[in-house]
Structure 1
């Protein structure tokens, strides 16, 4: 499977779907991005069970801002709609395959439990901070 271009129109539906989605944040002027591109493309050809998306930060600045991209290339991995990996920097092919394998091997029941626990703790902290002192 080759890579797909992600934009405002298809980003959310792509990364929130079932399965694994990798997202490469890049720009045409970025040397490391250009070096990573063939590695990413080759991985997309070898892992047809994974969706590979690319976001040109120059053409999609609002997406880059929303995702708080401060360095490119940045690689994100989503599984079943959960962001499970987020790292700036170009990866060699072996490291990219290790990321893909690690994402495949995740216990998503445990990931969902951790996400729910983090949300509950955040909600509790917000409620505690919002209560008036008396």
Structure 2
């Protein structure tokens, strides 16, 4: 699946309507963002079952602010509507693949119960 562009209008629905969503917060002027983009795109092609999204922090400043983006690129991962990963910096391909495998194996409800955050 190719990456999709998210805006403030469709961000919440995308996160809530899909099991796993990875979001790359980036900007056109950001060198590390440009270096990471081909890795993100290539990995997205291997995982049809995951939504790979991008948020242009220049175009979507309110969304970036709401997500407390301080540095780019920042990768966020959501599973079952819950933020489960949030890290600034470009991930090498192996680290991105490892993150995906961990996301697939993660039992969100169990993790929430163990952390005392269960709904």
TM-score (normalizing by structure 2) = 0.94
Equivalent in the alignment of 2:91: 91
Quote the offset at 1:118 in angstroms. 3.4
Q: Cα RMSD (Å) of the superposition?
A: 1.5
Aligned counterparts of 1:77 and 1:32: Cα–Cα separation in 2: 19
Equivalent in the alignment of 2:27: 27
Per residue, is there more helix in 1 or in 2?
Answer: 1
Aligned counterparts of 1:50 and 1:118: Cα–Cα separation in 2: 25
Equivalent in the alignment of 2:11: 11
Quote the offset at 1:17 in angstroms. 1.9
Please tell me whether Structure 1 or Structure 2 has the larger radius of gyration of its CA atoms.
Answer: 1
Aligned counterparts of 2:28 and 2:2: Cα–Cα separation in 1: 19
Q: Secondary structure at the match of 2:34?
A: helix
Contact 2:74 2:86 in 1 (8 A): yes
Aligned counterparts of 1:89 and 1:23: Cα–Cα separation in 2: 13
1:60-71 correspondence to structure 2 within 5 Å: 60-71=60-71
Is 2:111 aligned against 1:118? no
Contact 2:109 2:118 in 1 (8 A): no
* Structure 1 residue runs without a partner (length 5+): 121-134
- 4+ runs deviating over 3 angstroms: none
Aligned counterparts of 1:66 and 1:113: Cα–Cα separation in 2: 26
* Structure 2 residue runs without a partner (length 5+): none
Deviations 1:55-101 (A, max 9, x none): 00000000000000000000000001000000000011000000000
Aligned counterparts of 1:53 and 1:114: Cα–Cα separation in 2: 29
